Structure 1
Amino acid sequence: MVDFHRFRRLVSQSRAVAEQRDFRTASELLGDAVLLWQDEPLADLRTAPAEHLRETMSNALLEARKLLVTNRLRLGQHHRALVELEPLMGADNVDETLAQLWMDALCAAGRDHDARKYFHAFRRRFRRLMRAEPAVELPPATPGAGDHATVVVRSSPPASTAPPRQLPKDVSDFTGREPLLAAIDTLIRPDGTGVVALSGMPGVGKTSLAVHWAHRHRHRFPDGQLYLDANAYGPTAPVDPEEALGRFLEALDVPADRMPVGLDRRRNRFNQLLAGRRLLVVLDNVRDSRQARPLIPSAAECLTVITSRTRLRGLTVREGVPSITVPPLPDTDSFALLSRTVGADRADAEPGPVGALARLSGGLPLALRIIGEHVAERPRAAVADMVDELTARLLDADGEDDEEASLRTMFAWSYQALVPEAARLFRMLGLYPGTSIGPEASAALLGTGVTNAEALLDILARMCLINHDTARRYRLHDLLRRFAADRADEDDPDVRTDALRRLLDWSLLSGVNAVAVLAPDRQPVPDLPAATTVRPQTFASDTDAMTWCEVERENLAAASLWAGRHGFDRHAWQLPEVLVERFQRRGHQEEVLPLLKSALAAAERDGHHVAQVGTLNNIGTAYFALHDHANAAASIEQALQLARRIGFAEAEAACLHNLATVHLSDGDAALAARIHRDVVTVCRDTGNPMGEASALHRLGDALRQMGEHHEAAAHYLAALGLRERTGSLRGQGAIHRALAMLYLDLDRPDLALGHGERALDIHGGTRDDPGLCDALITMADIHRRLARPDAALRDAEQATALSLDLADTRRRCHALTVLTDALTATGDEALAACRRAEALALIEEVDDPQMRPIRERLLAVRHAATNARPCPSGAP
């Protein structure tokens, strides 16, 4: 990931210098960026998030290569351009930008005949595959063009940031649907924009159709693709339009601390960002027009494709949105899809019976796959014999003739063929509140071992009753989830309750084990259940624990909300406790706030005052991380008053500590120091070394802000000793960074260096992204003061890239400031001026008194840089 951050920085710099028409330097920067790519990125990771990130990185590389070729052509280096383009020009290539660059390069090299030949071949291929006219043009003839000919390049440079690429993977065995694909083409505008809705029954393949069409045409949307599963019929409530817009804005690089609040403000910001951009939006699994309407861009250049089980009459009547009803597959396509599953040899040997089964499916792709797996699981049986068996089962559907009932009957074929233990797991999965599940959680549901649970999951996957999400995780189709939940009625209510309690216990206790590794100084969650009926996961390292938290984050949140709705109030407030650490490390605290507020309500219903104190404190901490100091102080003050009322001295000290930290951030160092001294005394009296270490650390911060550097250093070192004894790695890293900054204040960068390097090592090892960003900022300052401009630039660039990933505007201001200084030290005053202007604009936007020293620093440097050139227009 460090190389990818460097890659993005080089591409960004190349755009800036290209705007100044320095195409040679731009080409050199892009050449360096492309050389950073050696092997497949994230090759060892095969999770869904890794696949998505891998695709994003690959798309960014392709855009960089296009930009490199563009600059080559501007320099007249057409032969080099041809060499660099050739590996990208596959036989089935339909990328219009690559085609245009290839023809430009051919003509510049005097190969007009080859360019014309390629133009006609590309045009035929594009029309055949895309059923549209390509947006390419044959360059004018260049008679006498020689080695130094140049061309006017039509292709525009890519956007300043990598466009979102959120489309799910295309279906590998997509079959037929050509008339529907053509119908979608005719319903959108000739330029490929507009809105179209697809409706149809469950299992008919609406999502597959929309995604397949989108992949066919995504090259027409250079500014990216947004995708949303609106969850109309999933295990949780449909996605609220305000939340959906928040997800889109995040994908469009709006930082969390600048995220608009409220549906109308988010919609306005969404439309502002999309104005003038060609972008594809896929709204999948929408419940109704009211859910979809706010999410449709107003920008004329965008296209929105919507899928829903119901016809969205509101959109059709009020906005004139055309709608297509997706019918079942015709017999020929059903036969083709079923043949792929059962095998071509069996289909060729028994075409009649296979055709009969295809017709039995009703043309539903989901049903075809279930039938196909049923047949494929019995390779020695005659297909003809199974036709009678499956037909008989269908006729046993109690006379129901609606399509969904027929599909449920087909589900029943697979379900009834399961061994009892696999059937029980399937029923329990219908009650599972999360989105994806692995063997360990499945084992908790069943009360069995992990190996057995994994084997049962494999059985369900082979029967097409669950789908693989990643190598060891699975998801249910929402209709299958409903079918499984209905079947769960076969179990005794006490059995169902026990299974769900085991799942909640496993989730909670595994999370507690993860937090014990990630933050051994964190106060334990009170009143935990005994691990008598489950085997919670354990973790050998900080990395393992953090990986588990990332994978299970959505499931833990869903389990907590489900618990609060179904009478498990204690689990409902305990589960968010284990998520707080994840959000403190990886940012995006706005996601945990609603969960904590729900947890507070559960703690109040539970009558658990200690839980109320802890949750209020966590809410205040989340607000503080979002730089909302007023709400942070209010929540912490409420927790403090309750802690005093119930005589909870340890919690009172923690609340005072957090309240003092807010005062310190607001600039009242003297008040913060007084409170922290009191907290140190309380922690020593109550034998709380972890709390004492935190208080000593923040007392040091207050004293450093007051100019009492030597006393601050003594408190830092005392806190460091305590954290080393308690094993708090993150805490050690934070204190090393504080000591590094203190020595910088004293103009001793030589002493700061060792502490800064230690902070960098710790935060990098613990995957603490905010801490790592802070350490990189400090190290950039240290290297600059030690006259190491290249090292300062490296760390500042990494900090800037990481601050963008964290969506933290204030950290980004700090990172841009040290990047400005580093660029100035290397003599790149033009880019330094650009970054300085960006930082000043952000500071004005956040309007935070804490940022005033940074603003004054930037203004002073700008005043001194009298020979600085203006920031290139269009630079990021």
Structure 2
Amino acid sequence: MKQRHFLPGKTINIANLQLCTFYILLFTCLFNTASVKANDITQQIHRPLNNTANKPSRDGADRLLKLGRQQLSLGFPDKALKSSLQALEIYQSLGDLKAQGLTYDLLANTYLQLDDIKNAEDAIRRQLAIARDNRDFQNQIFALNNLSSLFLEKGENVAAEQTLQEALVIARNVTNIEGQGLSLSNLSLVALRRGDYNKAIKIGEYALTFRRQLGDAIGEANTLNNLGDAYLAIGDYQNTIGSYGSAMRLAKKSFERPNQLRAIDGLVTAHAAVGRYSRALELLENRVAITDSIRNPAEDLKYLAISGEIYERMGNFAKAKDLYQQAISIAQRLEDSKQQSFLVNRLNDLKGR
């Protein structure tokens, strides 16, 4: 899977930091993170024996699997699920176990983004079984990382850490650079979830050395976002901005929206926490430009709610009220009673201002 030193001369209002972080987190789905979810596995199919009779079907399945990965990275898990299941059906008809294992890997990540824990676990267990039967150490590493993501989703941090340690041992034994980077990055996420921020930073920085060896831009962006979260938690503003900023640039260059949005959310939180409201609002406008192409009203709701909170902190109560009212309308259409109630309370607090 793919979840803070103070700087000299920098004074950060911890109450404001916690307040802003609360609002951001309230409207941000954890693992979104990935954010992400923690899984950030990207792996090409190693085809077995050439078979001219099956070549068209195999090529079609390969294209579907590649398409599914692209759809997931662009934030379309529903479409990715359809492509993955079609690819899996073809690979099963061909008896191609290795390709099935890779497809289950994608399915696991997709189901996790769809919050379908039951099917995610089934896909992971099948992926791991195939990898062990074939003594495929690389896919064992990936499957164990997927399994740890599932444990994190359930809040089972100890089980997640133990599973990742197993994956890391295998990766080191077979000198798998990608597996080491992935497992270390996810161990950093576990430490972050447990509140051990200094450990999360130490492991995350070490993970970066492996991810950069392979030029894995998406993996590096995910690790940098983990580091940004950890630095933000301890109030290290300079490293927070540096980590999120690097993650945002890498994700943008790779056309990978989930990590790009996660980085922007972190930057908005950090800038708002130290009173840099203009920069926070500028980043939110950039976020709108990205999410408009997805046409996701939930993203519009997030934008309006966070913008309203920033304008409220700036003392521009009229603007804040307008944004909160727009957000309430969207929450009603989405039948999101929890966020609607929260926004109504925020609006009521501004009465008379």
Shorter-chain TM-score range: 0.7 to 0.9
Q: Is the 8 A contact 2:301 2:327 kept in 1?
A: no
Query: How has the CA–CA distance of structure 1 residues 587 and 610 changed in structure 2, closer, same or farther, with 3 Å as cutoff?
Result: same
Query: How has the CA–CA distance of structure 1 residues 695 and 825 changed in structure 2, closer, same or farther, with 3 Å as cutoff?
Result: same
Counterpart of 1:829?
A: 320
Q: Is the 8 A contact 2:321 2:347 kept in 1?
A: no
CA distance in 2, matches of 1:756, 1:616: 30
- List per-residue Cα deviations over 1:682-703 (Å, max 9, x = no partner): 1111211112111111211121
CA distance in 1, matches of 2:106, 2:324: 40
- 2:193 is equivalent to residue 673 of structure 1: no
- 2:46 is equivalent to residue 526 of structure 1: yes
- 2:78 is equivalent to residue 590 of structure 1: yes
Query: How has the CA–CA distance of structure 1 residues 761 and 750 changed in structure 2, closer, same or farther, with 3 Å as cutoff?
Result: same
CA distance in 2, matches of 1:812, 1:745: 26
2:248 maps to a residue whose letter is L
CA distance in 2, matches of 1:674, 1:842: 43
- List per-residue Cα deviations over 1:94-136 (Å, max 9, x = no partner): xxxxxxxxxxxxxxxxxxxxxxxxxxxxxxxxxxxxxxxxxxx
- State the SS of the aligned residue for 1:568: helix
Q: CA deviation at 1:759?
A: 1.7
Counterpart of 2:37?
A: none
Q: CA deviation at 1:707?
A: 0.5
Counterpart of 1:867?
A: 350
Q: CA deviation at 1:792?
A: 0.7
Greater helix proportion: 2
- List per-residue Cα deviations over 1:235-284 (Å, max 9, x = no partner): xxxxxxxxxxxxxxxxxxxxxxxxxxxxxxxxxxxxxxxxxxxxxxxxxx
2:44 maps to a residue whose letter is P
Q: Is the 8 A contact 1:696 1:716 kept in 2?
A: yes
Q: Is the 8 A contact 1:779 1:792 kept in 2?
A: yes
Structure 1 residue ranges (4+ consecutive) displaced by more than 6 angstroms after TM superposition: none
Counterpart of 2:182?
A: 694
CA distance in 2, matches of 1:841, 1:721: 46
CA distance in 2, matches of 1:746, 1:844: 36
Tell me the TM-score normalised to structure 1 length: 0.33
CA distance in 1, matches of 2:188, 2:333: 29
- List per-residue Cα deviations over 1:528-556 (Å, max 9, x = no partner): 799xxxxxxxxxxxxxxxxxxxxxxxxxx
Q: CA deviation at 1:864?
A: 9.3
Query: How has the CA–CA distance of structure 1 residues 829 and 804 changed in structure 2, closer, same or farther, with 3 Å as cutoff?
Result: same
CA distance in 2, matches of 1:652, 1:663: 16
Question: Which has more radius of gyration?
Answer: 1
Q: CA deviation at 1:717?
A: 0.4
- 2:60 is equivalent to residue 572 of structure 1: yes
CA distance in 2, matches of 1:841, 1:627: 22
1:830 maps to a residue whose letter is K
Counterpart of 1:716?
A: 204
Matches within 5 A, 1:788-867: 788-807=276-295, 815-826=303-314, 827=316, 828-834=319-325, 837=328, 845=336, 859=342, 862=345, 866-867=349-350
- State the SS of the aligned residue for 1:805: coil
- State the SS of the aligned residue for 2:59: helix
Query: How has the CA–CA distance of structure 1 residues 743 and 814 changed in structure 2, closer, same or farther, with 3 Å as cutoff?
Result: farther
Q: Is the 8 A contact 1:720 1:732 kept in 2?
A: yes
CA distance in 2, matches of 1:613, 1:599: 11
CA distance in 2, matches of 1:736, 1:839: 32
1:522 maps to a residue whose letter is T
- List per-residue Cα deviations over 1:215-244 (Å, max 9, x = no partner): xxxxxxxxxxxxxxxxxxxxxxxxxxxxxx
- List per-residue Cα deviations over 1:589-644 (Å, max 9, x = no partner): 22232332222222122222111111122222222233323222221222222222
CA distance in 1, matches of 2:343, 2:108: 35
Q: CA deviation at 1:800?
A: 4.1
CA distance in 2, matches of 1:742, 1:582: 28
- What runs of 5+ residues in structure 1 fail to find an aligned partner? 1-520, 531-562, 848-854, 871-876
CA distance in 2, matches of 1:753, 1:742: 12
Query: How has the CA–CA distance of structure 1 residues 838 and 864 changed in structure 2, closer, same or farther, with 3 Å as cutoff?
Result: closer
Q: CA deviation at 1:869?
A: 7.6
Q: Is the 8 A contact 2:251 2:257 kept in 1?
A: yes
- State the SS of the aligned residue for 2:229: helix
Q: CA deviation at 1:677?
A: 2.0
Question: How many residues are treated as equivalent by the alignment?
Answer: 310
- What runs of 5+ residues in structure 2 fail to find an aligned partner? 1-40
Task: Tell me how large the CA RMSD over aligned residues is.
Answer: 3.3
Query: How has the CA–CA distance of structure 1 residues 675 and 755 changed in structure 2, closer, same or farther, with 3 Å as cutoff?
Result: same
CA distance in 2, matches of 1:680, 1:842: 45
Q: CA deviation at 1:712?
A: 0.7
> With CA pairs under 8 Å and 6+ residues apart, which has the higher RCO, 1 or 2?
2
2:209 maps to a residue whose letter is G
Q: Is the 8 A contact 1:800 1:812 kept in 2?
A: yes
Q: CA deviation at 1:838?
A: 5.7
Matches within 5 A, 1:365-376: none
- State the SS of the aligned residue for 1:806: coil
1:524 maps to a residue whose letter is Q
- 2:85 is equivalent to residue 601 of structure 1: no
Q: CA deviation at 1:651?
A: 1.2
Query: How has the CA–CA distance of structure 1 residues 803 and 644 changed in structure 2, closer, same or farther, with 3 Å as cutoff?
Result: same
Q: CA deviation at 1:865?
A: 6.5
- List per-residue Cα deviations over 1:15-72 (Å, max 9, x = no partner): xxxxxxxxxxxxxxxxxxxxxxxxxxxxxxxxxxxxxxxxxxxxxxxxxxxxxxxxxx
Counterpart of 2:144?
A: 656
Tell me the TM-score normalised to structure 2 length: 0.76
Query: How has the CA–CA distance of structure 1 residues 863 and 810 changed in structure 2, closer, same or farther, with 3 Å as cutoff?
Result: closer
Aligned residues with identical type, % of pairs: 17
1:758 maps to a residue whose letter is S
CA distance in 2, matches of 1:610, 1:762: 30
Matches within 5 A, 1:488-527: 522-527=42-47
Query: How has the CA–CA distance of structure 1 residues 608 and 805 changed in structure 2, closer, same or farther, with 3 Å as cutoff?
Result: same
